[in-house]
Amino acid sequence: MMLNKLEEIKIKYEEIGRELSTPEIINDQKIFQKLMKKHSSMEEVVNKYINYKNLSQSISELKEILNEENDSDMVELATEELAQAEKDLIKTEEDLKVLLIPKDPNDDKSVIVEIRGGAGGDEAALFAGDLFRMYSRFGETKGWKIDILDSHENDLGGYKEIIFSIEGYGAYSKLKYESGVHRVQRIPSTESGGRIHTSTVTVAVLPEAEEVDIDLDPNDVRVDLFCSSGPGGQSVNTTKSAVRLTHVPTGIVVSCQDEKSQIKNKDKAMKVLRARLYEKAMEEENAKMASERKSQVGTGDRSERIRTYNYPQNRITDHRIGLTLHKLEAMLEGDLDEMLNAITTTKQAEKLNSDI
């Protein structure tokens, strides 16, 4: 069944390739771009499938040589090549299984990340700032753009709440499993007795929604204007540049005050509102899929404790997959690939085992 599916994909890939060279398609840029994107998305699996077929052919030929050849040197050489070809074939088959997993339609999207201090007061707010720095550094290593949409600092320079976008192709595929409760264990700078405190921060990663993703009626949104405020609630300007949006049907409220321009604040708030409405629609759809709620990786719900950052032991543990790494400092500087790849691999294995 897998090989039949792969052959169908290869035939479709070749058909699209021929269409892309026709004058009718070339002259219609909208259709051309759509087909180009689809063609590119199929390229990796088609190339892997061609490699699989070549390996299968080589194995058949090598087996024929072993059945017919009497020369000991030729037999030895063919035996070595056969062993390597069979090993490569198994690896290629596993790669193809992963590539055939239905792709999350949001994987290519940019993201909006919301970080909020939980239990722990000022210490939680400081750790929220550490996580913002961690994700920002990670995004920078990928060449992605970081833009703060809204933030509320505390008096110590941490964040009670910070909402920011990470714009870059594939950002959601990398960060979508970061939603949940992140727990930190460390000695606060304000602790004179040297005791280790435990604090928590919640993270929510939302795929950025385009206008075509969400049918948002302007009449459903109430707009309120107010003066922006800084740490402690003090006013930082005298003009009503801050914007609060309320989506009346759902009661979702979004505010933005980071920009001096009322228009820019409204644009940023609308971006967050669309993302939250899109997330709500996704949650309602996913609620129908019981298997997703039993995931070994976790639901991605922001109320679920997913990770512990232990400073005294330079240890970071992801509780969903039981992975512990002793490289906390490096990870807080944005070195997240090892952890994120392990979580993604576990999720892919789970889908394969479920025959999705």
Cα–Cα dist 145/151, whole Å: 17
Q: So what's the pLDDT on residue 167?
A: 92
Per-residue b or e along 280-304, where b marks 16 or more CB atoms closer than 10 Å to that residue's CB: eeeeeeeeeeeeeeebebbbbebee
Q: So what's the pLDDT on residue 297?
A: 44
**Same fold yes or no, 2-99 and 111-350:** no
Tens digit of each residue's pLDDT (9 = 90 or more) over 254-277: 888 877 778 888 888 888 888 888
Q: Structural domain boundaries of the chain?
A: 2-99, 111-350
Q: So what's the pLDDT on residue 294?
A: 44
Taking residues 86-95, report their average pLDDT: 92
The answer to whether residue 246 scores a pLDDT higher than 70 is yes
**Three-class secondary structure of residue 195 per DSSP:** coil
pTM of the full structure: 0.65
CB 113 within 8 A of CB 204: yes
Fold of 111-350: Alpha-Beta Plaits (3.30.70)
- What would the CATH number be for the domain defined by 2-99? 1.20.58
Tens digit of each residue's pLDDT (9 = 90 or more) over 277-297: 888 887 776 665 444 434 434
Which residue in this structure is represented by tokens 């998305």? Answer: 41
Cα–Cα dist 201/126, whole Å: 10
**Of 1-5, 151-155, 170-174, 297-301, the least confident:** 297-301
Q: So what's the pLDDT on residue 293?
A: 39
- In 105-205, which ranges are continuous DSSP H helix? 122-141, 171-175
Strand arrangement, sheet containing 145-153 = 145-153, 159-167, 111-117, 197-207, 180-186, 305-310, 315-318, 323-325
The answer to whether residue 10 scores a pLDDT higher than 70 is yes
More confident residue, 10 or 194: 10
**Of 18-32, 171-185, 287-301, the least confident:** 287-301
